[in-house]
């Protein structure tokens, strides 16, 4: 029987790229191949030469339509088959290949917030809910809003074969998190974009929107980040390379912060479990540091580090590329 392939791609929206998708009906034995779209409607082309190319990079079962239907994550190419300027994946693939022998792994914690119209889901029409305290990993209808969507989303990620590692309710009510990884940089980033698409698509059926706004509510409410955990083969074997990676990130702190998501200075204030965006720090167990070495890593003397700076609205292709480049190039220069 014929099936549906949902072609998913990343547009040219500024300052933060958005997901788009459209449906292609496929013959039962047809394998998803290249396709096109109107780039003039996605900030990816001018009207007079509007065609852009969709090149499939990852095909997974479609957990929403079920059956033989597929989700087809694509990269965007120009009609000469070169990467489109908005295609951040191509540069990551190059960097990942260059440093393949370091066997980089990433685990990304994606925080997000459910909105019901103009207010976070479950918030009162006027005023605010009780101050932050009981919500993080909470239970009960007075503290938890949207769990049925979170459950449907994690089930969908599992059916799609994504490497989802877990979910939890966050510090601000209506804020949640899921984690992808640990897997290679390209795989982790592709899966993160697919998981984001599934989140928006599933919340749609509940009449709810999910947002990656890094600071959805000003004031005494936590922002939303995308803590990026990473390790090289060496970091997974001993401790000195972990400290070396932290120093490497310190040397390039400004390049990283500039590319960790729009509005980062609104979130990295030095309050609400963040370090100030312009003062790099690292430490064991420290959730007020830019980069944290988890306590169990310090005890085991091997493992990984957590870059706590990336915003929820970061591009995983860009963030994993920068970390791979900074950490691996520093290691190859002998930690100098
Ligand atoms: P926390 O909320 O305490 O910061 P989480 O449990 O939400 O931590 O996320 C930790 C993430 O670290 C997990 O998603 C996992 O994928 C990732 N991780 C675990 N081990 C490694 C590793 N060796 N390299 C990279 N990432 C890792
Ligand atoms: Mn977490
Ligand atoms: Mn979190
Ligand atoms: Mn974390």
- pLDDT tens, 301-331? 999 999 999 999 999 999 999 999 999 999 9
**Residue 320 near ligand 1, beta carbon < 6 Å:** no
pLDDT at 336 over 80: no
- Phi first, then psi: what are they for 22, rounded to 5°? -150, 165
Flag whether pLDDT at 266 surpasses 80: yes
CA of 308 to the centre of ligand 4 (A): 7
List residues, by chain if needed, whose CB lies under 5 Å from ion ligand 3. 177
- Cβ atoms within 10 A of the Cβ of 260, count? 25
- Residue 335, pLDDT > 80, answer no
Q: What is the pLDDT of residue 49?
A: 82
- Ligand 1 centroid – CA 154 distance (Å): 17
Residue 267, preceding peptide bond in cis (omega within 30° of 0)? no
pTM across the whole model: 0.98
Element (H, E) at 93: helix 89-98
Output DSSP code: residue 189.
H
Beta carbon of 179 within 6 Å of any ligand 1 atom = yes
How far does residue 42's CA lie from ligand 3's centre (Å)? Answer: 31
* Domains in the chain: boundaries: 3-86, 95-332
* 230 in contact with ligand 1, CB cutoff 6 A: yes
**Helix 185-205 and helix 89-98, axial crossing angle in degrees, nearest 10:** 150
Dihedral, CA of residue 34, residue 65, residue 8 and residue 148, to nearest 10 = -170
Judged against a pLDDT cut of 80, whether residue 175 lies above it is answered with: yes
User: For residue 186, what are its two tokens?
Assistant: 């390209």
pLDDT (tens digit per residue) in 72-107:
999 999 999 999 999 999 999 999 999 999 999 999
pLDDT at res. 333: 94
Does the pLDDT at position 35 exceed 90? yes
Output the CA 295–ligand 1 centroid distance in Å: 12
pLDDT digits (tens, 9 = 90+) for 113-123: 999 999 999 99
Looking at the structure, give the CATH architecture of the domain made up of residues 3-86.
Answer: Roll (3.10)
The answer to whether 132 and 126 are in contact (CB under 8 A) is no
How does pLDDT run across 120-134, given as a tens digit for each residue?
999 999 999 999 999
Find the mean pLDDT for residues 196-222: 97
pLDDT for res 46: 86
Mean pLDDT of 60-72: 98
Tokens of 69: 């239907």
Ligand nearest to the CA of 166: 1
Q: What is the atom index within ligand 1 of the atom nearest the CA of 177?
A: 7
User: Do residues 159 and 183 make contact, with C-beta atoms less than 8 angstroms apart?
Assistant: no
- Report the DSSP beta bridge partners of residue 6: 23, 71
- pLDDT score of 47 more than 90: no
Any atom of ligand 1 within 6 Å of the Cβ of 185: no
Using CA atoms, how far apart are residues 32 and 18, in angstroms rounded to an integer?
A: 22
CATH of domain 95-332: 3.30.590.10
Residues of the chain with pLDDT > 90: what percent?
A: 97
Distances (CA, A) of 224 to 47, 112, 210, 289, 292: 36, 6, 12, 16, 17
pLDDT of residue 237: 98
């Amino acid at each position: 029987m014929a099936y549906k392939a949902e072609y998913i791609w990343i547009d040219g929206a500024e300052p933060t790229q958005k997901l788009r998708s459209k449906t292609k009906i496929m013959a039962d034995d047809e394998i998803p191949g290249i396709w096109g779209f109107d780039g003039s409607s996605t900030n990816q082309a001018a009207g007079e030469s509007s065609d852009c190319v969709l090149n499939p990079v990852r095909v997974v079962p479609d957990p929403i339509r079920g059956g033989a239907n597929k989700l087809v994550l694509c990269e965007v190419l120009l009609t000469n088959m070169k990467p489109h300027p908005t295609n951040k994946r191509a540069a990551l693939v190059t960097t990942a290949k260059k440093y393949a022998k370091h066997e980089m792994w990433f685990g990304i914690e994606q925080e997000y917030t459910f909105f019901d119209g103009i207010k976070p889901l479950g918030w009162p029409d006027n005023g605010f809910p009780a101050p932050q305290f009981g919500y993080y990993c909470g239970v009960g209808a007075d503290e938890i809003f949207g769990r049925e969507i979170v459950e449907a989303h994690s089930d969908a990620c599992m059916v799609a074969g994504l490497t989802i590692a877990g979910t939890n309710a966050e510090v601000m009510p209506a804020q949640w998190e899921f984690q992808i990884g640990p897997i290679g940089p390209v795989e982790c980033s592709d899966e993160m974009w697919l998981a984001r698409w599934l989140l928006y698509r599933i919340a749609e059926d509940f009449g709810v929107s999910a947002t990656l706004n890094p600071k959805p509510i000003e004031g005494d409410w936590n922002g939303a980040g995308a803590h990026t955990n990473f390790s090289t083969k060496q970091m997974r074997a001993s401790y000195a390379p972990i400290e070396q990676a932290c120093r490497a990130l310190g040397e390039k702190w400004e390049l990283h912060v500039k590319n960790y998501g729009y509005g980062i200075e609104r979130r990295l204030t030095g309050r609400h479990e963040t370090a100030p965006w312009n003062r790099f720090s690292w430490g064991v167990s420290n959730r007020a540091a830019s980069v944290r070495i988890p306590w169990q890593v310090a005890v085991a003397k091997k493992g990984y580090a957590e870059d706590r700076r990336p915003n929820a609205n970061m591009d995983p292709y860009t963030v994993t590329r920068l970390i791979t480049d900074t950490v691996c190039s520093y290691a190859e220069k002998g930690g100098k």
